[in-house]
A = this chain, B = another copy of it.
Amino acid sequence: MKTHKINFEPLGLSGRCRTNESLLACAHRFGVGIISLCGGKGNCHSCQVQVLTGTVSEPTPHELEVFSSQQLKEGWRLACQTYPASDCTLSLPPNSLTTLQRVQVEGQEVAVSPEPTVTAYQVKLSTPSLADPQADADRLLESLNRQHRLRCNHIDFSALRKLPPQLRSWNWQCRASVRADEVITLGPWPSRQLGLAIDLGTSKISGYLIDLGSGQTLAAKGITNPQASYGADIISRISYAMKSPGKGARLQKVVVEALNQLAIDLCAEASAEVEEIVDTVAVGNTAMHHLLAGLPVGQLALAPFVPAVSRALNIKAGNLGLHIAPGAYLHLLPNIAGFVGADHTAVLLATADTESKGMMIAIDIGTNTEVSLIDSGKIVTTSCASGPAFEGWHIKDGMPAASGAIERLRIVNDNIQYQTIDGKPAIGICGSGILDAMAQLYLAGVLDKGGRMARNHPRVRSENKHLEFVLVSEEERDGRRAIVITQQDVRELQLAKAAIRTGIQVLLETQGHREEKIQKVIIAGAFGTYIDVANAIAIGMLPSLPLDRFQQVGNAAGTGARLALISLSKRGEAQKIVSGVRYIELASVPSFNKTFIQASYLGRYRLRQGKREEID
């Protein structure tokens, strides 16, 4: 039978597809994780892909139902309904991909001209003699400055300590890595210059190994933040660190050790040595930032929630115990406030188009959700305590986004359709699944606008006088405990989503804007990337705007860190962003309480001055 070559972008995977095999079936055969809730029947609409090149079968009625003629013209199709008629290139949007492959997509290139902070120069030195006994360091600096018209005036001290034997073993020829007026490290010539970008999240750490010359990402990896053993959320870690100076030092040590191992793993993947890493940029929320740098965190947890430092820091990586090139710096992007850290700065750096005329919102959803409103180059930012519910905490059957977690869910005619991570049997429900469940329960009439669960639905039952909705029954789990959403879970989620909506609303009101004016909503972060935006609107977590105004950008904090690593101008831009940001403390806004109460309602509505105008 005839086959065609299918390229799956941006994954960079390809394989051959028979003409009687759907694009979805072909993708699954090659391990490409396209979401399919209905199992390929064409009615869940989750397997949307864009055909960039090549010819495919005609649209089916299912597809005509989902897509506008404009969208069909642009190549949008349901993978389960489409068969190839020639070689094709498909673009898979993050929203159609399962968790693991979305993480892979995050490792893609960032588009900025390399303009690294550290530059490598080849230096040829004359050999010292009795007639020319100039000191090694002075000889090196003079040769470097003369040969490359530089004005370096010092050598990093740990590099200096190795200099005399190294110059002799390299036969008086070397690579000098220069940062501003300092030689930060030396190596044999030729040698690569690598950089490490780190997104230090409360629960997850992402690392990217970059070739500073080309800006190319050589390797990317995500690991668990080992500080989690000392407290799952920021506040419990701050409490731990405050017990004694030794505890803070311990939190620093475990994260530095993890970063060292991450650097080793990334280098192994790229056949590199950690000593080739000559520059590092890290971003994280203010608490993670402070704990990494060994700064006190006590004042972060008490009003008025003040960081030890906001402005960008350059710290000798070796002083923190990071084992990379001697003399390399760790650059920490500037923090915005006690609860708006360098990670949000990085998100703004990666996403905020401060030149644009249209108003935009950037949201990074997490235990703490940062929201920025960007309008005519001005940025106002706030932070909302959205809590850990969307990370699966305090939810009866909640779990992190791991194998077997329900990550997508739909209720069709009282039937529950769901998809788990890795396609494994369901064992719990993760953030994006929880959000889907809540929206679907509301749309199915199981929850009312106030979030109260209907007693009369066949899947609603009372356990110890507490109502719960059965997502996966005992029978469906071969006798194991059912997976449920409880009335209490719904209340937790209402608080979480109300916090986010209130943050957006307060920013709009302080600027005198209405939500209809928002031209673009950037949703960053792991959780934000995987949510179904329509469902998030359905529960009133996000304002009701046309779906095409929303953009789920993945790990924008990691992207911002990579941009700052590659480009000196981007570091300047980050400082400029932070200097211009006006931070608004939610608790200090008079309308906060009223708005928060209204924002806890489900459904689509507009908020104004603490009042709710329903749309449907």
| A136 adjacent to B338 (CB under 8 Å) | no
A467 to chain B, nearest CB (A): 39
Given contacts A157-B319, A165-B296, A583-B133, contact A306 B128 (CB under 8 A): yes
Q: Does A476 contact B (CB under 8 A)?
A: no
A306–B161 Cα distance when bound, in Å, is 14
Q: Is A134 in contact with B309, judged by CB distance below 8 angstroms?
A: no
Taking the complex as formed, is A411 at the interface, i.e. its CB lies under 8 A from any CB of chain B? no
**Chain B, Cβ-Cβ closest to A587:** B130
- Interface residue A229 (Cβ < 8 Å from any Cβ of B): no
Whether A414 sits at the interface, judged by CB under 8 Å, is no
> Are A128's CB and B319's CB within 8 A?
no
Q: Known contacts A137-B311, A306-B136, A307-B136: does B164 contact A588 (CB below 8 Å)? A: no
Interface residue A470 (Cβ < 8 Å from any Cβ of B): no
Name the residue on B nearest A165 (C-beta): B296
Which partner residue on chain B sits nearest A586 by CB separation? B130
Contact A585/B164 with A138-B311, A306-B128, A310-B138 known, Cβ cut-off 8 Å: no
Contact B304 A136 (CB under 8 A): no
* Cβ A130 vs Cβ B308 within 8 A: no
Whole-angstrom distance between the Cβ of A317 and the nearest chain B Cβ: 12
A236 within 8 A of B: no
Which parts of A493-530 form the interface with B (CB within 8 Å)?
none
Most-contacted residue by chain B among A161, A308, A337, A588 (CB, 10 A):
A308
A519 to chain B minimum Cβ distance, whole angstroms, is 30
Give Cα A333 to B422, complex, Å. Answer: 64
Chain B residues, Cβ within 8 Å of A295: 160-161, 164
B133 A306 Cβ-Cβ under 8 A: yes
Chain B residues with CB below 8 A from A308, complex form: 135-137, 160-161, 163-164
Q: A130-B585, A130-B587, A585-B130 are in contact. Are A307 and B135 (CB under 8 A)?
A: yes
A164 and B305 contacting across the interface, CB-CB below 8 Å? no
- Which residues of B lie under 8 Å from residue A293 when comparing CB positions? 157, 161
A111 contacts partner chain B, Cβ-Cβ < 8 Å: no
Partner of A310, one of B135, B155, B307, B315: B135
A299, CB-defined interface residue at 8 Å: yes
Against B, the Cβ 8 Å flags (1 = close, 0 = not) of A308-324 are: 11110101000100000
A294 within 8 A of B: yes
Quick check: is A298 within 8 A (CB to CB) of the other chain? yes
Query: A1 an interface residue at 8 Å Cβ cutoff?
Result: no
B296 touches A164 (CB 8 A): yes
Nearest CB to that of A129 among chain B residues?
A: B304
Alpha-carbon gap, A264 to B141, bound state (A): 37
A130 touches B161 (CB 8 A): no
- Cβ of A335 within 8 Å of any chain B Cβ, yes or no, is yes
Residues from chain B with Cβ under 8 Å of A588 in the complex: 130-131
Contacts of A128 in B (CB 8 A): 304, 306
A303 contacts partner chain B, Cβ-Cβ < 8 Å: yes
Give the contacts of A273-303 with B (CB-CB under 8 A): 293-296, 298-299, 303
Q: A135-B308, A135-B310, A138-B311 are in contact. Are A164 and B298 (CB under 8 A)?
A: yes
Give chain B nearest CB distance to A331 CB in angstroms. 13
Contact with B along A435-477 (1 / 0, CB 8 A): 0000000000000000000000000000000000000000000
CB distance from A492 to the nearest CB of B (A): 27
Tell me the bound Cα distance from A164 to B154 in angstroms.
Answer: 32
Chain B residues lying within 8 Å of A587, measured Cβ to Cβ, are 130
State A157–B290 Cα separation when bound (angstroms). Answer: 12
How many angstroms between the C-alpha atoms of A165 and B298 in the bound complex? 9
Q: Mark A103-146, 1 if CB is under 8 A from B, else 0.
A: 00000000000000000000000001111111111100100000
Q: Whose C-beta in chain B lies nearest to the C-beta of A157?
A: B315
By beta carbon, the residue of chain B nearest A299 is B164
Give CA–CA (A306, B585) in the complex, Å.
Answer: 60
Write the nearest CB–CB distance from A199 to chain B, whole angstroms.
Answer: 21
Give A296 to B159 CA distance when docked, in angstroms: 11
- Which residues of chain B are within 8 angstroms of A130 by Cβ–Cβ distance? 303-305, 585, 587-588
Residues 344-368 (chain A) with a chain B CB within 8 angstroms:
none
- Hey, what's the 0/1 contact readout for A165-208 against B, CB within 8 Å counting as 1? 10010000000000000000000000000000000000000000
Given contacts A138-B310, A160-B309, contact A133 B296 (CB under 8 A): no
Q: Which residues of B contact A155 (CB under 8 A)?
A: 309
Contact partner of A335 (CB less than 8 A), chosen from B135, B154, B299, B319, is: B135
A305 close to B337 (CB less than 8 A): no
Known: A130-B304, A304-B130. A135 touches B309 (CB 8 A): yes
Task: Determine how close the nearest CB of chain B comes to the CB of A369; give it in whole angstroms.
Answer: 18
Q: In the complex, what's the smallest C-beta–C-beta distance from A50 to chain B, in angstroms? A: 44
State the A residues within 8 Å of B (CB).
128-138, 141, 154-155, 157, 160-165, 168, 293-296, 298-299, 303-311, 313, 315, 319, 335, 337-338, 583, 585, 587-588
What are 22 pairs between A and B in contact, CB < 8 Å? Answer: A128-B306, A130-B305, A133-B305, A133-B338, A133-B583, A135-B306, A135-B307, A135-B310, A136-B306, A137-B308, A138-B309, A138-B311, A141-B311, A157-B293, A160-B295, A162-B296, A163-B296, A163-B308, A164-B295, A164-B299, A165-B298, A168-B299
Nearest first, the 3 closest Cβ-Cβ pairs linking A and B are: A137-B309, A135-B310, A135-B307
A135-B308, A135-B335, A138-B309 known; 4 other A-B pairs, CB under 8 Å?
A136-B307, A161-B295, A163-B296, A163-B309
